Structure 1
Amino acid sequence: MATAQSPVTHDPRQNGREIRALMQKAHDAGARLIHFPEGAISGYQVSAAPPWEALRDELERTAALAKSLSLWTILGSEHRLTTPNRPHNSLYVISDSGNVVARYDKRLCSHNEITHHYSPGNTPTVFSIDDFTFGCALCIEINFPELFLEYERLGVDCLLLSAYSQNAIFGIMAQGHAAANNYWFSVSVAAQFAKTLPAGVIGPDGYWISQCRTDAATDLCFAHLDRKSPAFDIALNKARPWRKTAREGRIYRDNWVFDPRSETKTRF
């Protein structure tokens, strides 16, 4: 898979050109999937709507290229709703046949987003490629661990987080979610924020596998998802199954003790 660090402007035409150039590079490098930032093609603009006709044209061009390259493309964009409803802040899941097979709508929007510009979504999104299951999240949703526990319960192998942020703590929190839930975690961020939050891919052990450049450059980084990798044996084959058992709780309930020295909490 390829994780993109693309510039996000308010011009869908410029964004579309950058996106398709990166798609070609990812394909040439052998990627099956490419993951883009929040608002990658529409721009991230909570004060005005994007030019919808230009955006639709750029989306169709991008979907056509996904089909031509046989490249799954996960793409951040506003999604227009029926007037007077506000748009969703979304991730389109475009398959290697060029079809939109799913869409994730940001559920936990910021105060500014929900007050002025976006309608929230209400469901998780999962999809599968080559026997791997992927889940989607957007930007400040990184702050809500319940979303990432939900995706673990849904059997996700890799979480795709798209962001438009320069907050370095997002990368640290992504490492924590990856390590706690033992799945791969792709963080795609706008190129202009790369100095403090470069895009990258984290392994199911919580450590970065690869990251893009930090000089605000358009870039790609790559990761090979391999369940048989010895580097991830503990995370995938020991930690994740054990934590599932632990979260169910029966192993603890079956071993509760009823002892006066246990019940009294105010003595040594």
Structure 2
Amino acid sequence: MRLGLCQISASADPAANLDLIRAGVAEAAGAAVVLFPEATMSRFGVPLGPVAEPLDGPWATAVREIADAAGVVIVAGMFTPAEDGRVRNTLLVTGRGHHLGYDKIHLFDAFGFKESKTVAPGDTPVVFTVDEVTVGVATCYDVRFPELFRKLADEGAKAILVGASWGAGEGKAEQWELLVRARALDSTSWVVACGQADPGPTTDTAPLGIGHSLVADPRGRVVGRLGGKPETLVVDIDPDLADTTRKTIPVLANRRL
């Protein structure tokens, strides 16, 4: 399966960010799935309520049209309205007959940032199928919670796509790589992690991204990575490697808790 990772630096303008999606899909030509970061619809650090739209709203519909025109599945972060007046941090999955969303379960109430103040948590893991391969999804802070990745593997996922807008700070890049590789080992799955690019020096305390998107195979080996700038990476993964790894290192089957 060929996958595209489009490491962008989203603005606060959803319409302008649609142009980034169009350009990224074109750069990832030949990919079956094109992954964009968390908060592709709008970057963090601005009021999210005014930009939030339902999955059948104009922004997600426009992304579906881009996906359908290219014959791909696009996975991209957006914000949808929540019932309590907050928003949900939603990973849109659209194209090739799919149009659904995963609402981020684990909210980033850490490092002095409180995502739950404006974002309501989801509670349901999501998988979908592309070319007979089951794929799971997760968002940013989710990567610190191995239980979710094991649950997705239990539901048949051989690859797990992670969209992120990782916060900058001392040691954060090292933590990001370590966590992505660890979740690949925990779940014996491919973990394909795409983050917002590094926006450069800023006084904004919101998590705007550090780049360093990467792909880890089911044995935790990095098979592709990017630096900090906006860039696209196209990788080929072998879903069968998840099966052979699970036979050789059956950590999912050997669990007792």
Q: What TM-score comes out, normalization by structure 2 length? A: 0.83
Q: Helix, strand or coil: the match of 2:252?
A: helix
Q: Considering only aligned residues, what root-mean-square deviation do their CA atoms show, in Å?
A: 2.5
Supply the distance in 1 between the matched residues of 2:48 and 2:69 (Cα, whole angstroms): 33
* Partner of residue 113, structure 1: 115
- Aligned-pair identity (%): 24
Supply the distance in 2 between the matched residues of 1:60 and 1:245 (Cα, whole angstroms): 40
* Partner of residue 94, structure 2: 94
Supply the distance in 2 between the matched residues of 1:72 and 1:132 (Cα, whole angstroms): 13
**Hey, which of these two has a bigger chunk of strand by percent?**
2
CA positional deviation for 1:34: 0.5
Supply the distance in 2 between the matched residues of 1:180 and 1:108 (Cα, whole angstroms): 18
Q: What TM-score comes out, normalization by structure 1 length? A: 0.79
Q: Helix, strand or coil: the match of 1:19?
A: helix
Q: What letter is aligned with 1:221?
A: L
5+ long unaligned stretches in structure 1: 250-268
Supply the distance in 1 between the matched residues of 2:254 and 2:177 (Cα, whole angstroms): 27
* Partner of residue 175, structure 1: 181
Q: Retained in 2: the 8 A contact 1:8–1:15?
A: yes
CA positional deviation for 1:245: 3.2
Supply the distance in 1 between the matched residues of 2:219 and 2:151 (Cα, whole angstroms): 18
Supply the distance in 2 between the matched residues of 1:204 and 1:66 (Cα, whole angstroms): 28
Which structure carries more relative contact order (alpha carbon 8 Å, separation 6+)?
Answer: 2
* Partner of residue 254, structure 2: 246
Relative to structure 1, the CA distance from residue 52 to residue 77 in structure 2 (aligned partners, 3 Å threshold; closer, same or farther) is closer
Deviation string, structure 1 residues 87-113 (Cα, Å, up to 9, x no partner): 11010110224x51x210011112311
Supply the distance in 2 between the matched residues of 1:235 and 1:193 (Cα, whole angstroms): 37
Q: Helix, strand or coil: the match of 1:177?
A: helix
Q: What letter is aligned with 2:118?
A: H
Q: How does 1:228-247 map to 2 (within 5 A)?
A: 228=240, 235-239=245-249, 242-247=250-255
Q: How does 1:134-149 map to 2 (within 5 A)?
A: 134-149=135-150
Q: Helix, strand or coil: the match of 1:220?
A: strand
Supply the distance in 2 between the matched residues of 1:46 and 1:123 (Cα, whole angstroms): 27
**Hey, which of these two has a bigger chunk of helix by percent?**
1
* Partner of residue 25, structure 2: 23
Q: Retained in 2: the 8 A contact 1:69–1:96?
A: no
* Partner of residue 155, structure 1: 156
In terms of Rg, which structure is larger?
1
Q: What letter is aligned with 1:70?
A: G
* Partner of residue 13, structure 2: 11
Pairing 1:209–2:223 present: yes
5+ long unaligned stretches in structure 2: 201-208
Supply the distance in 2 between the matched residues of 1:121 and 1:113 (Cα, whole angstroms): 13
